[in-house]
Amino acid sequence: MNIERFTTVLASYGASESRWPEAERAALADFVTVNPTARALLVEAQQLDDLLDTWTPATPAHLEADIMAALPRPYSERLLDWLLAPGAWLRPGFAAAMMLTCGVVIGGFYPDGDNAEDTGYWNDDLALMALDDNFDEDVTNDN
Amino acid sequence: MQLQAAEQTATHEEETALVERVRQRDTAAYQLLVRKHLRPLSGYAARMLAGAPEAEDIVQETLLRLWTHASRYRADKSRLTTWLHNIAHNLCIDYFRKHKRLQPLENQDAAETLLVTTGPDTGQQQQEVQRHVAAAMMKIPERQRSAVIMCHYQGLSNREVAEILGVSVRALESLLVRGRANLKEILEHEH
């Protein structure tokens, strides 16, 4: 160890031994005890360290919760949480109403027995009724 | 010295096991790691950005990447804190590139932001000193700033900081010498 290397270490890492390169720490500490110039340099470096040490930003209290809340979660879990959120009692009903509406809309695309465009069946029925002399209007209306 | 090294080794092994659990999507293990590393990372980002609100975003993104990219962490290459600081450092550099140069704390809003981040119980005189230190830190180049912050505040070794910055230890010391000299000159001039 020499004064040049000691000076460089102080200028780089400051006066605290814990920040000095681990491999040189013991040699640096010994050098301070035997070299008055080194001790003076140590005092000078400590002044900047003391100023730097005054700066202690606080960690925002909400940050941990924010980080945990931001974790990507499976879609099924998020949907369930949304439906069952406290105070959101309308959401399950809304979801059911949406499904019902979708069912009605989709069902409207499928033809049923009362479709006015499907007249082939009724034409045959009417033809048969016309051929029957005992045709009863009341019975027809019940159909 | 041997006890400290043994403690560090045990901690490294414990963290490696927790990271493995994080890879298996264990949120409890993840939360333990978040609690351990939140404060130092928050301090690093806050000092790099002089307490700007975006520092919280950087911390959040850094720790979120622990969840999404846990498979990329190599325990045989580095400590977890080194890996996380590497991410935070790169995010800070990206931020500076997007926002060009951060302005020094010259306006009242920025100064008040710094006061908030340092806590309400800090004395007025100490707050003033902290403001000067923060302002001085903002006036030195970003690489010097990152080097000084990581070596002085973050408990990283010179080898770890050199690895994060992608330089040799000698080059790191050159950055530190210039950074600390600049800080000293600025602070002496202002006092």
Contact A57 B117 (CB under 8 A): yes
A55, A60, A67 ranked by CB distance to B133: nearest: A55
Would the pLDDT of B187 be above 60? yes
B39 CB within 8 Å of a chain A CB: yes
Residue A123's pLDDT is 67
What residues of chain A lie within 8 A of the CB of B119, using their CB?
56, 58
Nearest to B27 among A13, A58, A71 (CB): A71
> Comparing A135 with B57, which gets the higher pLDDT?
B57
Distance between CA atoms of residues A3 and A10, nearest Å: 10
Token representation of residue B119:
């806590």
Model confidence pLDDT, tens digit, residues A31-63: 999 999 999 999 999 999 999 999 999 888 899
What is the 3-state secondary structure of chain A? CCHHHHHHHHHHHCCCHHHCCHHHHHHHHHHHHHCHHHHHHHHHHHHHHHHHHCCCCCCCCCHHHHHHHCCCCCHHHHHHHHHCCCCCCHHHHHHHHHHHHHHHHHHCCCCCCCCCCCCHHHHHHHHHHHHCCCCCHHHHHHC
Interface predicted TM-score (ipTM) over 0.90: no
Q: Nearest Cβ partner of B60 from A19, A58, A67?
A: A67
Determine the residue of chain A that is closest to B38 in CA distance.
A64
Average pLDDT over residues B112-124: 54
Residue B42 sits at the chain A interface (C-beta within 8 Å): yes
pLDDT tens-digit profile of B66-115? Answer: 999 999 999 999 999 999 999 999 999 999 998 875 544 444 444 444 44
Q: Which residues of A sit within 8 Å Cβ distance of B? A: 8, 11-14, 19, 21-22, 48-49, 51-52, 54-60, 63-64, 66-68, 70-72
Chain A nearest-CA distance from B158, in A, is 7
Q: Which of A11, A58, A71 sits opposite B181 (nearest CB)?
A: A11
pTM, two decimal places: 0.74
**Smallest Cα distance from A14 to chain B, Å:** 8
Is the CB of B162 inside 8 Å of chain A's CB atoms? no
